[in-house]
A = this chain, B = another copy of it.
């Protein structure tokens, strides 16, 4: 059965096919498709029609090779299976797609080496990167940022644009909440030693505690996984505190499970506060009081900042810092401090 289509090709059409079909040079086709006003509108329309007819899709590899722009942005997260990153990834993906970019998502496995080598790799295949919760040193990050446009998430290094989640101030809110419930002996369950977020929260927390005259001790570091919860829970119980503020919800949920196993009631015997309001925080048992923030939006903002760096055309000066608000969401895991004795 004959069709109006030219003979079906075994391989994808190129601009040369379009050029042949229209009787123009390949370069004209290239211009018509990328910088439309450099070409006669009628020619352009013919070319566009031919492109549509052939179902032309530009070869991104070739485009990247000759233009130097890849149209891709790398997104580095320490652990894809950490629910905290879902919404972040979703946010970056949506914003990138809206701008016509492709997202290259990489799990750096909580490893500084993997992170560094990934960046090196991406230097050729991405126009820029968004780095969440970097495990690198400030120096290494600065060196990497010098080689390619970068925006960090939850990592504040002078000279590198960043999106920060304001958990430190939420941490103070959490502390006030616990104090208002009568708690005076409180533990901070620390995250990885290389996590700047953890450090910043601890700083904010211990300062606030001093002002308010309560005792906050630091336990850890612990890996940000539910499995760490058992050790953390045991440490908390042993230390004699009546409430814990955990580095994140994963650890907090793990602690809830362990406390339940040990017959320690939450919140009657021990109050728990998590951080991030991840998937699961609202339906664990008891539901977790936690510090929530608009993560998906944070992802979008990070991408916007990066794209502003890549395409400085728009007038507005490039923001180099964006702080996302965080608030305490109180659920069932916090309650009045147990009567002493």
Interface centre among A59, A61, A70, by most chain B C-beta atoms within 10 angstroms, is A61
Is B283 a contact of A256 with CB atoms below 8 Å?
Answer: yes
Interface 9-residue window, one of A29-37, A79-87, A179-187 = A79-87
A284 CB-CB contact with B under 8 Å = yes
Q: Is the CB of B283 within 8 A of A60?
A: no
Closest Cβ neighbor of A147 among chain B residues: B12
- Given A86-B81, A87-B81, A107-B90, verify A60-B125 contact (CB < 8 Å): yes
From B70, B93, B123, B285, give the contact of A283 (CB < 8 A).
B285
Structural contact, B90 and A124, CB atoms closer than 8 A? no
Q: How many copies does the complex hold?
A: 2
CB distance from A235 to the nearest CB of B (A): 20
Closest chain-B Cβ to A58's Cβ sits at a distance in Å of 8
Give the chain B neighbours of A164 by CB distance below 8 A: none
Q: Could you tell me if A125 and B81 are in contact, using CB atoms closer than 8 angstroms?
A: no
- Contact between chains at B104 and A80 (CB < 8 Å): no
Q: Restricting to A225-282, which residues have a CB under 8 Å from any CB of B?
A: 226, 253, 256-257, 279-280, 282
A25 at the interface (CB under 8 A from B): no
A291 at the interface (CB under 8 A from B): no
A12 with B124: CB separation less than 8 A: yes
Instruction: Name the distance in Å between A130's Cβ and chain B's nearest Cβ.
Output: 14
Cα-based distance from A285 to B62 in the complex (angstroms): 53
In residues 121-151 of chain A, which contact B (Cβ within 8 Å)?
A: 121, 123-125
Given known pairs A12-B124, A57-B120, A283-B280, the reply for A89 and B80 (CB within 8 Å) is: yes
Q: Is A64 interfacial (CB 8 A cutoff)? A: yes
Residues of B within 8 A of A65 (CB): 59, 61-62, 65
Does A105 belong to the interface (CB within 8 Å)?
A: yes
Q: Nearest chain-B residue to A57 (Cβ)?
A: B120
| Min distance, Cβ A325 to any Cβ of chain B, angstroms | 22
Name which residue of chain B comes closest to A256, CB basis.
B283
Contact with B along A93-122 (1 / 0, CB 8 A): 100000000111111000000000000110
A283 lies within 8 A of B253 (CB): yes
Q: How far is the CA of A60 from the CA of B283 in the complex (A)?
A: 45
14 intermolecular pairs with C-beta atoms under 8 Å apart: A60-B124, A61-B65, A61-B124, A61-B125, A62-B65, A65-B65, A81-B90, A102-B104, A103-B106, A253-B283, A257-B282, A283-B284, A283-B285, A284-B285
Q: Which residues of A contact B (CB under 8 A)?
A: 12, 57, 59-62, 64-65, 70, 80-81, 83, 86-87, 89-90, 93, 102-107, 120-121, 123-125, 226, 253, 256-257, 279-280, 282-286
4 closest Cβ pairs, A-B complex: A285-B285, A280-B280, A81-B86, A61-B64
